Structure 1
């Protein structure tokens, strides 16, 4: 099954070959917000231990290579931690990331309106413990009386502009893109190209690496094709 891809609309300064801004919907912004919550060790691992960020690769390798005789805990919690932020159905979650477990009360008479990410947490319904793992979080939350929208982080009705440095701002309904472009110093609209692009798993890895290297992230991902060596190694690992 082919991995899903998100849609973005880029506004490009063709003279400078640089992104001015991107128009994005809820799905892409949800992904960006989830990305900032990733543990450092997860980022290093996703980049094949070639993040090139200071000494993080060396520290990761040191933990990975430490002999078990010196270890008193499971090092997988360090090298392959679960996602830091509990949120269901974030698009393009990297396939090897583990979602955190969710627990509810198993008492037969409770309405199961409460869930917890900590095993054994206090249940306000029956004053017992949340010790029953929820296997289908989305369906369970939908049944709860105290419902909240746990699908992603931002509201679906909103549209956002994403800057080259991943700054995210909502686009007001009464604001035209021509007005926005002028705010960014664009004087000649003839030099602006509007381009629809797809954002999939390959672009995810490029974005992770580019965001660690500088502030022209989307330009590097879509216009300058940064990070091919990382993607090549990832593809070789899958074969």
Structure 2
């Protein structure tokens, strides 16, 4: 993060109740509202990477995604198609909103611009098309001259730009009210805020002028993901509050017949999940969480679990698409972008089970003889080389499967083989979304997402 970004400030006029240790609401300008909405455009992997970089010492683990990301980082590149290239796009995922995010007053993502590979001799086909490639498994040498190693270059339309003075999401003249749980609404009147806040005692309220810099904005992102009261935590040092959703209504049907097999290894006496044994397709699926923009995740999950708005980030997403009138947005399609932000071209899995779509080929690759990926011949493929088997722990840490290590772990924990059973499950859309949801909030993602199925099934085979 550049020093210039560290000097950027936002002024919030916060109405608080010190006695209750609560921020009632804050008045913010369009620049700050833009930064808030930009949280939703970040891929999950970018969020984990950013928070690890700036808040490693106080990082509240982002469900199981932190351990998923760390396990990916520790996995040797020999497991990936294209080696470090495929691994890198998962550790440093791009979003189709990256170029727009650079125009914010403060872009917290530090996302590098799109790069491609070009022959230094600027070779062209007989049709005078340039020979370029965008994929991590780019050709080592130009296919026309055959002798020049391909160079990495930055796409001209994604060169770093200056912040935009007239807004990115919101029109510059707009101002907004922001509640403690990040419900955002136009600054339109007293009765509107009263309906949102309910019965509050304004006699004990006072107004504070609060400055948010980079540090506070990053903390706001972190606490929005895990709490219901991020503003009170940051401004008044309040205790973290969260609502545990114990009941929800599922509203999903499997939109395709794609499925993956997963073997869960469970301790019979305690019904505790010891680990999962998975093939590369399931691990590919887990790693693909990191490339999905947060707004797309929220759109998918709130359709399946409509009653599970248990974190402030859920309110930010829902208020952005339901509460704010189109007239406040700079672009008429802004709401649609937040609901349907596509996956970056060349990232999506060949056999993905989630209803995700890929963006169109970037402008730089149109009307050129662009070199297609060996592993992604049609823009889709796999990250991991197979066939291989992996061990996946309850917090989604992925390691190569090693029977010696597993037996040693069982012995260390005094778990006899006679107390171990295997349960095989098929993972389709419903189960996949359940795992995605649990990964955001729980350090026991597989247990929370799949344990009920484990409890209701008979074991397929006992060990010992």
TM-score class, shorter: 0.5 to 0.7
Structure 2 residue 34 is matched with structure 1 residue 20: no
Equivalent residue, structure 2, for 1:204: 217
Equivalent residue, structure 2, for 1:153: 169
Please tell me whether the aligned partners of residues 37 and 83 of structure 1 are also in contact (alpha carbons under 8 angstroms).
yes
> Any idea what SS the aligned residue of 2:62 has?
coil
> Any idea what SS the aligned residue of 2:63 has?
coil
Q: CA offset at residue 54 of structure 1?
A: 2.5
Equivalent residue, structure 1, for 2:290: none
Please tell me whether the aligned partners of residues 114 and 155 of structure 2 are also in contact (alpha carbons under 8 angstroms).
no
Distance 1:98 1:15, change over 3 A: same
The TM-score with structure 1 as length reference comes to: 0.67
Equivalent residue, structure 2, for 1:70: 79
Distance 1:134 1:54, change over 3 A: closer
Distance 1:226 1:84, change over 3 A: farther
Q: CA offset at residue 156 of structure 1?
A: 0.9
Q: CA offset at residue 203 of structure 1?
A: 0.4
Measure the CA separation in 2 of the matches of 1:224 and 1:78. Answer: 35
Q: CA offset at residue 202 of structure 1?
A: 0.6
> Any idea what SS the aligned residue of 2:41 has?
coil
Distance 1:150 1:9, change over 3 A: closer
The TM-score with structure 2 as length reference comes to: 0.36
Q: How does 1:1-239 map to 2 (within 5 A)?
A: 1=4, 2-48=6-52, 50-73=59-82, 74=85, 75-85=87-97, 86-87=99-100, 88-94=102-108, 96-100=110-114, 133-134=156-157, 151-172=167-188, 175-176=189-190, 182-183=194-195, 184-185=197-198, 188-224=201-237
Please tell me whether the aligned partners of residues 41 and 60 of structure 1 are also in contact (alpha carbons under 8 angstroms).
yes
Please tell me whether the aligned partners of residues 206 and 226 of structure 1 are also in contact (alpha carbons under 8 angstroms).
no
Equivalent residue, structure 2, for 1:128: none
Q: CA offset at residue 189 of structure 1?
A: 3.4
Measure the CA separation in 2 of the matches of 1:58 and 1:135. Answer: 31
> Any idea what SS the aligned residue of 1:98 has?
coil
Q: How many residues end up aligned between the 2 structures?
A: 189
Measure the CA separation in 2 of the matches of 1:57 and 1:14. Answer: 34
Q: CA offset at residue 151 of structure 1?
A: 3.9
Poorly superposed stretches of 4+, deviation over 4 Å: 135-139, 179-183, 185-188
Please tell me whether the aligned partners of residues 5 and 200 of structure 1 are also in contact (alpha carbons under 8 angstroms).
yes
Please tell me whether the aligned partners of residues 113 and 155 of structure 2 are also in contact (alpha carbons under 8 angstroms).
no
Measure the CA separation in 2 of the matches of 1:187 and 1:70. Answer: 56
Q: Which has the higher contact order (CA 8 A, sep 6+)?
A: 1
Distance 1:226 1:36, change over 3 A: farther
Q: What is the alpha-carbon root mean square deviation over aligned residues?
A: 3.2
Measure the CA separation in 2 of the matches of 1:222 and 1:190. Answer: 20
Task: Tell which structure's C-alpha radius of gyration is larger.
Answer: 2
Measure the CA separation in 1 of the matches of 2:114 and 2:166. Answer: 14
Give per-residue Cα distances to partners, 1:134-173, cap 9 Å, x unaligned: 366769xx9xxxxxx984110111110011111110012x
Distance 1:72 1:38, change over 3 A: same
Please tell me whether the aligned partners of residues 113 and 160 of structure 2 are also in contact (alpha carbons under 8 angstroms).
no
Measure the CA separation in 2 of the matches of 1:81 and 1:155. Answer: 29
Q: CA offset at residue 99 of structure 1?
A: 4.6
Distance 1:137 1:204, change over 3 A: closer
Equivalent residue, structure 2, for 1:236: none
